[in-house]
Every structure is written in structure tokens, then in C-alpha cells.
Structure 1
């Protein structure tokens, strides 16, 4: 079985009869109240640096209208507004719990006139063809139920000459980073997740989903086969994270 097929089989709750999409929405609804804290805590704040690196890919483009897919609590949308100064940002996510926290953050920052968060699915984006100048996805593509369908849909709503930037976890291969990373992800991350968010399943799913997700050259080829051009992949922090850039 191909890696891209395996990735869709990894789900948060193995015994559940719900679809992967439904399980993901439920999982993030359950951990939404602690999601931002756990991101900062478990990554030692490095996730902020990763997001900045990804958004720098869009600076030369000067996008006016940005779509942030799997926006969660809106971290990338908020950072994109500060770094790129677009006219408008739309963030979509299948977890209403995450969106509710994101809307609170946006309101406190006085950005409700610039950033809109709404319930939305990457596989059926409610927008006409060629709507957005740029699309971002941070730590969300591995959660797609149908990876290629989600990528195709993003390609559809991206303007010609527009750019897609994907930020996703990857598996480091350098000794001893690989060994330390695997130990941390496999044993420590689920424990912290259980203690802080009361959901061990969510943070046990994380390492499993990263391990199964197609990475590097395989992901580059998937993006090309989906119709994207000028596809690149850059690893960050010893290969713990990867940035994929692609144009329509």
C-alpha cells in the first residue's frame, strides 16, 4: 500500500465508527481550550519560528486575499496579517471548537474587519475558482481524509500565479535527532497531552499521523500530480518540520 494511502488510514480513535474527518473535528473540539498552550509548550516556542519561515515565502507575492486552511485557532491568519498586510484573510476549519477560540483572539486584537474564521472543509471549499492570491496550511494536511482531493480543491480556488505554502511535521533522519524526536513524540507528547488537555488519544495520534504522512520527494510529486508547479520542499530544525511551496 502506498504511503499516501496509509496516511488516510491513521485516525485518532481506532475503535470509532466515525469517518476520519468526523474524528478529527471531535478531537480538536475536545482539546481546543488547551491547543495554543500545548503548541507553545511542547515545541518550546519553535512553532512560531516555523510559521514565520513559511509566511516569508509569500512576501514577494504581496497577496491581497489569503485563505488559511485548517486554520484552527487562527495563529497563521493572525501572523499573516501582521507580516503580509493583506486586505482580507479567510480561515476555514472543520472544528467549531477551535474556531470559537480563534474568533475570541481575533476580536481581542481588533482584527474582525480583516480576518474571518468560518466552518469549512478543505475538500469542498465554498469559493469560486481562482479566488485567492495565496493559500496557507499549517500542520493540517496530514489530517485531510482525502489528501489529493484537498490539494486539488485548493488548486482550484487559487488564482493563476498564486502560491500555496504548506507547513507540516516530518520525520528527522539525522542521528541522534531522530532517536530523541521519536522518543519525545511517542512517549512524552501523549503523556503531556493527557495531563494538560485530558486527551491522550489526540497526542498519540500526532506521532502516528506524522509517521504515516507522505514527506519530502513523495509529497512534492503528489503536489505536482495535483496540478501545482514550481514545487519545493525545505526542511527545518533538523528535519522535524518541512515547508512545501507550490504555485498554480
Structure 2
């Protein structure tokens, strides 16, 4: 597989925009197939880790097709959610999902940049993001922005693919991404988009390295949970009363 190189943040953003525009209509099906149906349970766990309460205001960063948003509203039906994404096609799919579920009155969909969230400090009770950090130009900047807009004491939770270390899972994972996924991409006639998935994971730091970024930003109680043998990791932290490492 050819390695895609980016000279600037803007280069990566433009490339990722194209990837998600291409796969928006079948993104959810792709996630379910690629995760062997485990993606629902991963999101369920991640939302529970936010410890959200009744009538709170939650931010879903890089919301995509709003599956994370829908799960949050399933767990706490009184929530209001700000669902932000930089890709219009993905937002359109998210809007359709919210409309079908009759949840549009509780969800505000916003076309915006995770690197520069269009909200004032201390706006939200909690924030979440699912399967987005591999695609952003600067992980630390996004986590800093999420920290900025969440009230002190609120939780930030991020679900992302990881690098499994459990014996058996690691070998199966590598085989799947190296041999099976390229075949799926060729069958779908969208090989470049599918090729980006293993490539983005290859570039993404190990979950223990990601945790160090959280700690460097001053998140309290920063930790992570490996799920399904470490195929994914859920990172979380509490926004401190004061932040000094932005």
C-alpha cells in the first residue's frame, strides 16, 4: 500500500474530507462489518463513562452520522446534544438518522472544525468523540479544545481504534487489516478510502502514548480502557478547575 504523506495540516484535512465524503452513505454499515458488530457495545460503554445526568448539555465532536449522539440520548433521554462535524455529507446522514428517530428537537447539528470549536469556554457538561482522533491534524489541539468548552468537573471521553496487545487479538487484527480489508476495498470499488483505515491506524500512537497527551493537558483522573482485547480504547479524563498546559 502506498503511504500517503501530508505536508501541512490542511493537506490531511482535505484528504480526510474526501475519504468521508466518499463513504458517508455506507459508513455505518462499514463500521458494523469491520467491527464484527462490536461497535454498538463500544459506544454503549463509552457513553456510560461520561456519567451524564438529566437535562445536561453534551458535545459530540466529529459526530459523523450521529450514532454516538443517538446512543447518548438512548441512555439519557433528557439530554440536549451539540453534534459537530467538518464533513457535510456525514452531517446529512446524521441529520437523517436524528429525523428518523424523532430526535431533531434535542440535537443541534453544526458544520464546524474540531481544531477550533465554535463555543465559549465552559459551555458543556461533558464531551465525547468516536473514531475521529486518527483523522484530525493535531490530537492535542482537539483534546485541548474539548477541555476548554467543557465545564470544570465534566468528563471528556474518546473512543478510538487501538493497537491490541492480547495474544490472538493482535495476530488476527494484523491479518484482517493487512489482507482482508484490501479485498473489501476492491470489491467496494473504493479502495483508497478503505486503504486509509489501516494507514491511519498505523500512524496513530499507542493508547499509552495517547494517555500521556491527556496528562500533559492537565486532565484529572486520566485513564483508558481497552475493549475486545485492545482492538479499541476508551480514553477519559475530568476537566480540572484550572488549566495551564494549553
> What TM-score does the superposition give when structure 2 sets the normalisation length?
0.90
Matched, 1:34 2:26: yes
Cα pair distance change 1:105/1:60, threshold 3 Å: closer
Higher relative contact order (CA 8 A, sep 6+): 1
Name the structure 2 match of 1:134.
126
Q: Answer yes or no: is the 8 Å Cα contact 1:135–1:154 preserved in 2.
A: yes
Distance 1:12 1:97, change over 3 A: farther
Q: 1:12 to 1:67 in 2, by over 3 A?
A: farther
Which residue is 1:90 aligned to? 82
Matched with 1:8 is none
Moved more, 207-216 or 224-233: 207-216
Q: Residues 206 and 181 of structure 1: is their aligned pair in 2 closer, same or farther, counting only changes over 3 Å?
A: same
User: Which of 29, 46, 66 in structure 1 is aligned with 2:58?
Assistant: 66
Alpha-carbon distance in structure 2 between the residues aligned to 1:72 and 1:12: 25
Taking the aligned partners of 2:193 and 2:76, their CA distance within structure 1 comes to 32
Secondary structure of the 2:170 match is helix
For 1:189 and 1:92, the matched residues in 2 are separated by: 29
Q: 2:178 aligns with which of 180, 186, 209?
A: 186
Q: Is 1:231 matched with 2:217?
A: no
Query: Structure 1, residues 144-183: CA drift from partner, whole Å, max 9, x if none?
Result: 1011111111111011011000101111122222111101
Contact map agreement 2:163 2:207 (CA 8 A) in 1: no
Tell me which residue corresponds to 1:43.
Answer: 35
Question: Aligned partners of 1:60 and 1:107: how far apart in 2?
Answer: 23
User: How much does 1:192 deviate?
Assistant: 1.3
SS in 2 for 1:188: helix
Matched pairs, number:
237
What's the offset of the Cα at 1:61?
5.0
* Counterpart pick for 1:143 among 135, 140, 158: 135
Deviates more, 1:202-211 or 1:14-23: 14-23
Paired position in structure 2 for 1:3: none
- More deviation, 109-118/204-213: 204-213
- Relative to structure 1, is the Cα distance of residues 147 and 72 closer, same or farther in structure 2, using a 3 angstrom cutoff? same
> Quick check: 1:13–1:23 contact (8 Å CA) kept in 2?
no
Return the offset for 1:23: 1.0
Residues 1:160 and 2:152 aligned together: yes
> Gaps spanning 5+ residues in structure 2: where?
240-246
Distance (whole Å) between structure 1 residues aligned to residue 62 and residue 75 of structure 2: 19
Distance 2:78 2:42 in 1: 20
Q: Is 1:99 equivalent to 2:85 in the alignment?
A: no
| Structure 2 counterpart SS, 1:145 | coil
What is the CA-CA distance between 1:220 and the residue it aligns to?
Answer: 1.1
Q: Tell me which residue corresponds to 2:71.
A: 79
State the Cα distance separating 1:191 from its structure 2 match. Answer: 2.2
* Superposition pairs of residues 167-182 of structure 1, within 5 angstroms: 167-182=159-174
Q: Give the corresponding residue for 2:211.
A: 220
Distance 1:134 1:63 in 2: 12
What are the Cα deviations for residues 50-91 of structure 1, in whole angstroms up to 9, with x where unaligned?
000111112365570110011110000011011123431011
Q: In structure 2, do the counterparts of structure 1 residues 128 and 38 end up closer, same or farther at CA, with 3 Å as the change threshold?
A: same
